Amino acid sequence: MKKLILAVAIVMLLGSSVQANLILNPGIEAGSGADADNWAEGAGITRQSGSVHSGSSAFNLNYNGGAATQDVYLTAGDYTLGGWGMHQLSWAGDVGTNIEAVGYGLVFISPAQFQWAYDEFDFTVATASTVTIRLSTAAPYYFNPAFADDISLTAVPEPATMALMSLGVVGMLIRRKRR
Ligand SMILES: [Ca+2]
């Protein structure tokens, strides 16, 4: 029974390692002043501490159409890109945060004023390549910036891989019992 619990723990550990976040500095915590580590900031984009989803820093994406970007090398497969967005405009619907995998799609987050909201989308990379993750303000209005925090890019574990890993662990257990 102990071995079975161990086996389940191993499979869960392997599964979670497959789903590790591929974004560096995903919570915009690391950096120096307005400059966030691992991200390239366009004009007016700042790492700031006035409005955050978690921790002590997040991106202010400003209102001038600029963006914060990070390039990630992805092998072929399915991925989920998500994150948290917030904006300061008193009406929703046409202002918010774009979280984009350039060339693959984006999710537009437009909650009520000052409310943080999470959203995500799935995309498929056909051949291994470098993909640019881009955070920007949608339909910017003067002095009504949008914000972004806690960006997450994870590989979607293939059911076949998970099944094979489980079978392998069960096989090891059966062999041990026979000895
Ligand atoms: Ca943060």
Q: Mark 67-77 as b/e (b = at least 16 C-beta within 10 Å).
A: bbbbebebeee
Q: What is the pLDDT of residue 113?
A: 87
CA 88 to ligand 1 center in whole angstroms = 17
Range 168-174, long-range pairs (CB < 8 A, 24+ positions): 169/7, 169/10, 169/11, 170/7, 172/7, 173/3, 173/4, 173/7
CA separation for the pair 27, 33 (Å, rounded): 15
CA 58 to ligand 1 center in whole angstroms = 5
67 and 135 in contact (C-beta within 8 Å)?
Answer: yes
CA 84 to ligand 1 center in whole angstroms = 10
CA 178 to ligand 1 center in whole angstroms = 52
Average pLDDT over residues 53-68: 91
CA 26 to ligand 1 center in whole angstroms = 8
CA 96 to ligand 1 center in whole angstroms = 18
At residue 16 the predicted structure's pLDDT band, cuts being 50, 70 and 90, is: low
Query: 21-155: CATH homologous superfamily?
Result: Galactose-binding domain-like (2.60.120.260)
Q: What is the pLDDT of residue 13?
A: 59
Kind and range of the H or E element at 150?
A: strand 146-155
At residue 106 the predicted structure's pLDDT band, cuts being 50, 70 and 90, is: very high
Q: What is the pLDDT of residue 155?
A: 96
Model pLDDT for residues 78-93, shown as the tens digit of each residue: 999 999 999 988 765 6
3-class secondary structure, 161: helix
CA 21 to ligand 1 center in whole angstroms = 15
**Edge-to-edge order in the sheet of strand 96-101:** 40-41, 67-74, 129-138, 96-101, 105-109
CA 103 to ligand 1 center in whole angstroms = 26
pTM of the prediction? Answer: 0.80
CA 48 to ligand 1 center in whole angstroms = 9
CA separation for the pair 3, 72 (Å, rounded): 38
Domain ranges in the chain are 1-19+157-179, 21-155
At residue 142 the predicted structure's pLDDT band, cuts being 50, 70 and 90, is: low
| Summary mean pLDDT of the chain | 87
CA 75 to ligand 1 center in whole angstroms = 27
At residue 107 the predicted structure's pLDDT band, cuts being 50, 70 and 90, is: very high
User: Strands 96-101, 77-87: parallel, antiparallel or unpaired by DSSP?
Assistant: unpaired
